[in-house]
A and B are shown apart, each in its own frame.
Chain A
Amino acid sequence: MRLTDATVVIRPRSQWEAMDLGIRLARRHAGLLMASWAIITLPLLGLLSALLWSYPSIAVLIFWLLKPAYERLPLYILSQALFGHTPSLSASLRALPGLLKPQLLASLTWRRLSMTRSFDLPVLQLEGLAGQARSQRLVVLGQKGTAGATWLTLVGVHVEMALLFGLFALLYLMLPMQVEIDWSWESLINPDSHQWLWLEHLSNLLYGLLLVIWGPVYAACGFTLYLNRRSELEAWDIELVLRRLRQRVTGSAYALLLLAGLLLSQWPAPALADDMPVQCQPEQLAADHPDAPRLQLQHLDSDSARYAIAGLLAEPPFEHTEQVTRWRLGDPQELDEERIKAWAERLKALFDWWERSSGLALVVESLLWGLCLGLLVWLAWRYRQWLQAFGSRLRLPRRSPAEVPPSQLFGLEVSPQSLPQDIPGAVLALWTEQPRAALSLLYRALLSHLLHERQLPLKASHTEGEVLALVQRQQHEPLSQFCQQLTTHWLQLAYGHRLPPADSCQALCAQWRQLFTTEPRP
């Protein structure tokens, strides 16, 4: 172990800072630590789950109990990496069997619940101590290191739980609703059913995964706590500086002296410290002391200067005194029993008054609402110019004003007022003399019906074909059939001047009656 090779800065730290260093250390070697941890623990968890498929809680309990065994590998990796010899993944895995040997049983059983597990492990593994020697060493180290290690374990337990619940909440959020409902019903009705075991094994896997993150950090924090305690006990930081100092001295000045000594035909090399008074005599010391009287031969000697300085320092700009007068509470013993009783009665009266004056709550409530309103008004006033400039853009995209149904479509009057009461009768009456007018009346009546009764969004720009398509979209089979026939006849008559067959008008009127007379007209 050469301190000069250390890859961390060695300085005295508080316990908390030592743990922070552990987090940084684990983060620097995160890839190696997490990979090695995952390679060991995840297959083990898989094996346990396979063996104990029906008892997921026991599987995870055993997995949890074995935790101290997993922590040995991260400690090995970090202790090697501390002095710059970071092992490769395969090398560290090969080292694992050797690491597991010493005192594994003790670690897994009666020392399992020790709160300072992470802090004690380096003594066992790196110092190789056992039995009496180990406990003595732990007493020495633990004088100051125990508190931090205990807090680390305590916080670690909660971090694990928080991460587990967090991951579990995430999983729960991801579950499809139906699976969730089935799960809760199934576990309610038939708790012994093995159908949902995979979910519990999944949550065990989550625990294994979060340990991949937290386990190495915990081991690293314990290791740095141990390092910090050792460097405090053995003053590693001082040793480092002293070694550099020695190098400086022996490297430069001492070498020069040696050279000079050689050149001067092996004169006894003058020892460096000889020039300096190594042991000062007391009277000499008194003369060297800053408070000793000096400069005695001149007008202003050191003593009078000191008195003048002390006098100046006692005067106002440096010395500030202030007289403060204020009220104090009187002697507490004046409070005799009667006064206390009076106070109690007054308090009681106050409470009674509170009870009776329920209006006060109302007053405060209205005050608060007033405050809220006032705040809104103030905000509006404060930003009035901004609102003026940009307010119009804030509005929601408004609907175009309620659509007024057009009164004319392709030059045909379609408002209901322009139609006769009995349409089929009027049509039949017109048919013999003016078939064009009759058919147009029927078609107008149809459009008017679609527009006002069926509320079809017809616009003046629609063509007859588009109206037909809109009607067919209504999925009303008789209506769309009627519409189809009428539109064809009307188009042929209107644009082709071809009269429909004579009986078609009768048929259309009959259909009209059938379709629309059941529906009352306004």
Chain B
Amino acid sequence: MPCNRGCGLSQTFAPPAAAAQPALDSCYQVETPEGIDLQLRPAGIVPRALAYTIDLLIRVLTLLLLFTLLAFLGRFGTGLGLILTFLITWWYMVLFEVLNQGRTPGKYWMGLSVVHDDGTPVGWSASLLRNLLRFVDILPFGYTLGLLSCLNHPAFKRLGDIAAGTLVVYRETTLFSRPPLPEAIPQRPPLPLHLDEQRALIAFAERHEQLSTARRQELATIVSPLFDDADPAASEQALYGIAHGLLGPALDTPS
């Protein structure tokens, strides 16, 4: 699923919306001092709740295991267990977030990470603040305030995130292998293509297996004026050829 691409592009070239409001997206834009627009994708309530559940389970299981083992050590074991309970309750999130690129095991599993509002890696003070204020979010019972705040904030922040200036975003994933393109002879596009058009053509070829034949030909008919060809199947082949040509020989290797 090449969802890590095209986030910004489709927004830049988004169709003019019928309403006065801009087209809705869950992206969050940050402009760096160099004038580069960064696209962050804040994560909403469902993946975050699942990540939290995973972390909670891990902590509970770890503590249970520790207490069973430490029970052999008598009084010393109890003391050690209490110290470890303190550490695991209050420092589990902070240590993982700061030392592991903003990802606790639960967040890692769900593909999330914590960053500052400007996209920089989360630091000690922000992480401590957001995790200490977790106890405000829990009030009055079971994360009521956190849920309401998370539902109402455009970047899905809970109160701790707002106070600490942090953001939970989807981690950018790198594609190690591209899906294979259908066989076609590489060719040059009949006219210079914009970047988003090039991407769309490559995506069309890459996703050909997910699309039905009728739909593929329907899509190819849209651009048939380019090829001066009434036959949809020929247009489709031509689009594949252009995609091969755009990717070039280096990337266009069958995987």
Binding site for B on A (CB under 8 A): 3-14, 16-17, 19-21, 23-25, 27-28, 83-86, 151-152, 155, 158-159, 161-163, 165-170, 173, 213-214, 217, 221, 232-235, 237-246, 249-250, 253-254, 271-280, 285, 289-291, 351, 354-355, 358, 360-361, 364-365, 368
Contacts and interface: CB of A to CB of B under 8 A. Distances in A.
Contacts of A85: 18
B40 to A, nearest CB: 12
A358 B73 CA distance: 9
A171 to B, nearest CB: 9
B223 A246 contact: yes
Given A11-B7, A280-B185, A246 B144 contact: no
Q: Which of B10, B14, B141, B203 has the most CB of A within 10 A?
A: B141
B24 interface: yes
Nearest to A288: B186
Interface size class of B (residues with CB under 8 A): 35 or more
Contacts of A3: 15
B147 interface: yes
Interface of B: 1-3, 6-7, 10-11, 13-15, 17-19, 21, 23-27, 41-47, 49-50, 72-76, 79-80, 83, 110-111, 140-145, 147-148, 151-152, 154, 156, 170, 185-188, 190-191, 193, 196-197, 199-200, 203-204, 207, 210-211, 215, 219, 222-223, 225-229, 238, 248-249
Main secondary structure of the interface of A (DSSP, over half): helix
A131 to B, nearest CB: 22
B156 A17 contact: no
Given A9-B10, A273-B226, A235 B207 contact: yes
7 contacts: A12-B203, A17-B3, A155-B50, A162-B141, A249-B226, A273-B226, A276-B188
Contacts of B249: 289-291
Nearest to A84: B18
Given A11-B7, A246-B222, A285-B186, A234 B211 contact: yes
B191 A253 contact: yes
A385 B6 CA distance: 57
A354 B204 contact: no
Contacts of A276: 187-188, 190
B204 A162 contact: no
A16 B46 contact: yes
Q: Which of B15, B74, B187 has the most CB of A within 10 A?
A: B15
A358 B74 contact: yes
Nearest to B189: A276
Contact of A155 (B49, B186, B228): B49
A409 B55 CA distance: 75
B237 to A, nearest CB: 10
Top-9 shortest CB links A-B = A166-B144, A84-B18, A20-B44, A241-B200, A162-B142, A271-B228, A169-B141, A9-B25, A361-B76
Nearest to A10: B10
Contacts of A254: 225
Contacts of A368: 83
